[in-house]
Amino acid sequence: MSSYEELINELSELCGIIPEYWDIFGNKHTVSIETQKAILRVMRLNIDSEENIQEEIAELKVRPWNGLIEPVKVVSANDQSLTIPIYIPVEEGRENELSISWSVWNESGQKDEFISEGSSITVSDQKWINGRRYIRIDLKDRGGRDIGYYTVSVLCKTPEMEISGTSRIIITPDACYMPPELENRKTWGLSTNLYSIRSNRNWGVGDFADLKRTVEWTAGLKGGFVGINPLHAIPNKKPFGISPYSPISRLYKNLIYLDMENIHEVKELKGQSAIDNRQWEETFKRLRAEDLIDYEKVAAIKEKLLRHAFEVFYETFSNPPVPPLEKGGKGGFYFNSKNRIEEFKRYITEEGENLEHFSTYMALSKEFGEGWQEWPEEYRNPSSNEVQEFRKTYKKEIIFHAYIQWLIDGQFREISEHAKNLGMSIGIYHDLAIGSIGGGSDAWMAQDVIADGISLGAPPDDFNPSGQNWGFPPLIPEKLKESGYEYFIQTIRKNMKHCGALRIDHALGMFRQFWIPKDMPASQGAYVRLHAEDLLRIIALESVRNKTMVIAEDLGTVGENARENLLRFGMLSYRLLYFERNYPEPSFITPEKYPDTALCSVTTHDLPTIYGWWSGRDIEEKKRLGMYPDEEAWLRNACDRERDKELLINALRSEGILPHGSELFTSKPMSPELCLAIYEFLARTPCKLTAVSLDDIIGTPDQQNMPGITNSYPSWMQKTPVSLEQITQDIRFLNLSEMFKKSGR
């Protein structure tokens, strides 16, 4: 190995690149030098020569000594005192000339001030760097501060020197929130893909009115929650712009979910050509009748009508009436509008820069197309003078996109509050995607912390033998830390808003993420370590503040102690029937072996429904799509499935759920009775939550997403085979509710 390669290995280790890993099959993978170099470059390190690499290594080795104060410190609220280390260049014997003044600001702007001078200063450590002496001094804050975010400002003086710096201090609880109602009991809920709901009134895609009806119905069945897919903003265009897990932003939501008939300004338009004509009604009927969702058409119609509604709103926004008008006629409208304008302005103020950046991105996308990397160079920086001028010129367009997000936030909040008022212990159980696409709004506004030229993914596993490339960039660990974790905090906070529970997709990514350099296959990727303790503590803080419990999706290749650390912070594990086996034996574990601190379910959007699994529909589809490397792999998968069906029947019989000698054999099709028996098996586990897939109960044969396939499978487009109105009258759900009641949920 050359000296250059040795230096690359050393630098990679300092940057958290894990040199080797074991895949799910037990195969060891050693990361190549080329992969390491590609990752180091996207981390924005200079590796063009041995001298440059040595300089990078030297700088990393002396962190944090080469700065006055670390950019962020995340600590437990249970620490008896807060210690804030600072690092100062001071000649030996001259510590008594040092004066340190420092302040701690809370989120309300209140300040505590402290001064340390001369003999009151204690040196806790020292280090010589390039012939210069640095000392470490531990500032002690014994204020017993509450959980939250604080800013520390430090000023150090000697006769020859004056240096200053600031740091964010994050004080966190040691565990996530748990609803008091669930401390000593279990509950269940329905899990659905909101976009897929077919109803007699929506406009071709499931919306918030459908969600509200589902919440009311589930509450009537005594379910504790309704689980939904991510509602993140997406392009709404095929083939790559319809996945809820590949958003342009995780901070804002998709307009297709708006209940258009529950918007004040749309109601004002009733009877006008903008909304009330036969052409629109015929279009809605066609969109409802189609089996696949036409995202682009639905989004275009809703946006067009929202623009008409916004014209009504903007007229009042620009010229708000001062006194309330007389009752009747349009007086009531203007009076209500005045209140709505105040609410809207309050929303804009609360959202701040995040909303401004997102709305500006949406306006720029209309002007220059999607993917900010392809825009004219002067618009690629959100802080550029040209972008500032654009905001002034296109102020109305930018306010329009803020208006949409305000409407979404209001409707979502109303449903969440309604769920709580109906007595649901959790209410809405939301889903957070692992990342956002590289050309999207988040990547544009957070270029300092989001990498370019690399994608997140997963190594080879049972369901994806070639590995997975998810197509969106990772957060650069050190850059994120230097920013005080601001983007991460905002992402967690925004997605917990109005939710009783949040599922974090691929939560194992809090510990390490699989990075795949551009133009390399997934098999050539490498794991990169993150600042897991800090991230988990931030999640716990936001969880407690928002009263949102956390489910950590911990499937896949599990790193050492990952699940134990998630459990330590009170995050529920995510356990699927398909994978809970007595490894290395393929038999299913018994219910009592499931952990109590978990959510259990049969399947997810990326896996076959129980009807599809039982019939082998997913295996047939994979064969049709050419996903098997050879005939032998397909036959092996098919044989394993027949074995697994027999093992599942045996597991149900062992529990007495199915009688021995039952007529329910593996050669028979899946039935409502067998489906219910499988969920009774899960109901007997000690798991805190059981999520029932709506698709399982109504007998949907095809899974929502086929990972790794873009054009040949209708991922994210399939509607429920029957309408919501029919589903809510289906006796199978009453039987399900009664079963859970008998099981003590």
> How confident is the model at residue 558, as a pLDDT?
72
The 10s digit of each residue's pLDDT in 209-238 is 999 999 999 999 999 999 999 999 999 999
Average pLDDT over the chain reads: 92
What percent of the chain shows pLDDT beyond 90? 79
pLDDT classification of 336: cutoffs 50, 70, 90: low
User: Could you report the per-residue pLDDT of 687-708, keeping only the tens digit for each?
Assistant: 999 999 999 999 999 999 998 7
Residue 543 has pLDDT above 50, yes or no: yes
> If you search the block for the tokens 């008998």, which residue do you land on?
742
**Residue 561 pLDDT > 70:** yes
User: Residue 331: what pLDDT?
Assistant: 34
* Residue 357, CA distances (Å) to 439, 441, 442 in order: 14, 7, 9
Could you give the CA distance from residue 62 to residue 610 in angstroms, rounded to a whole number? Answer: 55
Note every long-range contact of 416-423, with CB atoms under 8 Å and residues 24 or more positions apart, other chains counting.
416/498, 416/499, 416/500, 417/498, 418/212, 418/215, 418/216, 419/215, 419/219, 419/225, 419/226, 419/500, 420/500, 422/215, 422/216, 422/219, 423/219
Alpha-carbon distance 205 to 228, whole Å?
A: 14
Q: Is the pLDDT of residue 667 over 90?
A: no
500, pLDDT greater than 90: yes
pLDDT tens digit sequence for 278-288 = 677 889 999 99
The per-residue DSSP string of 22-75 comes to E-TTS-EEEPPHHHHHHHHHHTT---SSHHHHHHHHHHHHTTTTTSSB-SEEEE
Cα–Cα distance for residue pair 262/280, rounded to 1 Å: 17
Q: Which helix (H) or strand (E) holds 679?
A: helix 672-683
Question: Would you place residue 327 in the very low, low, confident or very high pLDDT band (cuts 50, 70, 90)?
Answer: very low
The residue with greater pLDDT, 328 or 119, is 119
Tens digit of each residue's pLDDT (9 = 90 or more) over 16-73: 999 998 877 778 889 999 999 999 999 999 999 999 999 999 999 999 998 999 999 9
Residue 271 predicted with pLDDT over 70: no
Angle value at C-alpha 335, between 334 and 338, nearest 5 degrees: 85
pLDDT of residue 272: 65
pLDDT of residue 321: 53
For 375-425, the pLDDT digits (tens) are 999 999 999 999 999 999 999 999 999 999 999 999 999 999 999 999 999
Phi, psi of 430, deg, nearest 5: -95, 165
Tell me which DSSP letter residue 597 carries: S
**The pLDDT of residue 93:** 81
Q: How many residues in the chain?
A: 745
| 78-172: CATH topology | Immunoglobulin-like (2.60.40)
Q: Are 549 and 176 in contact (CB under 8 A)?
A: yes
Quickly state the pLDDT bin for 664 (edges 50, 70, 90).
Answer: low
| pLDDT band, very low/low/confident/very high, at 276 (cuts 50, 70, 90) | low
DSSP track, 434-494? S---TTSHHHHHTTTTB-SSEEEEE---SS-TT-EE---PPB-HHHHHHTTTHHHHHHHHH
Backbone φ and ψ of 281, nearest 5° = -60, -40
Model pLDDT, residue 211: 98
Q: What is the dihedral of CA 40, 45, 46, 48, to 10 degrees?
A: 10
Residue 329 has pLDDT above 50, yes or no: no
What pLDDT, on a 0 to 100 scale, did the predictor assign at position 668? 87
Q: What is the CATH number of domain 205-259+311-443?
A: 3.20.20.80
CB of 497 closer than 8 Å to CB of 37 = no
Using CA atoms, how far residue 722 sits from 205, 216, 664, in Å, is 13, 19, 26
pLDDT tens digits for range 183-203: 889 999 999 999 999 999 999
How far is residue 391's CA from residue 506's CA, in Å, rounded to a whole number? 36
Q: Averaged over 576-601, what is the pLDDT?
A: 97
Helix (H) and strand (E) counts in the chain: 23, 24
Look at residue 469 in the predicted model and tell me its pLDDT.
87
Could you tell me the pTM of the whole model? 0.94
The ranges assigned to domains in the chain are 3-61, 78-172, 205-259+311-443
Q: How confident is the model at residue 661 (pLDDT cuts 50, 70, 90)?
A: low
- Tell me the C-alpha distance between 201 and 210, whole Å: 9
Interatomic CA distance for residues 677 and 300, integer angstroms: 44
Helix ranges, 575-668 (H): 610-615, 617-624, 631-654
**599 by DSSP, 3-state: which?**
strand
**Res 649 pLDDT > 50:** yes
Annotate 563-594 with three-state secondary structure: HHHHHHCCCEEEEEHHHCECCCCCCECCHHHC
Share of the chain above pLDDT 70, in %: 94
**Distance between CA atoms of residues 331 and 317, nearest Å:** 16
pLDDT tens digits, 282-319? 899 999 999 999 999 999 999 999 999 999 899 877 77
Residue with the bigger pLDDT between 138 and 321: it is 138
- What's residue 663's pLDDT? 53
pLDDT of residue 320: 61
pLDDT at 335 over 50: no
Q: Edge-to-edge, what's the strand order for the sheet holding 598-601? A: 549-552, 501-504, 427-432, 225-228, 187-192, 689-693, 598-601, 573-576
Q: What is the pLDDT of residue 419?
A: 98
For residue 161, report the phi and psi dihedrals to the nearest 5 degrees. Answer: -150, 150
333 band by pLDDT with thresholds 50, 70 and 90: very low
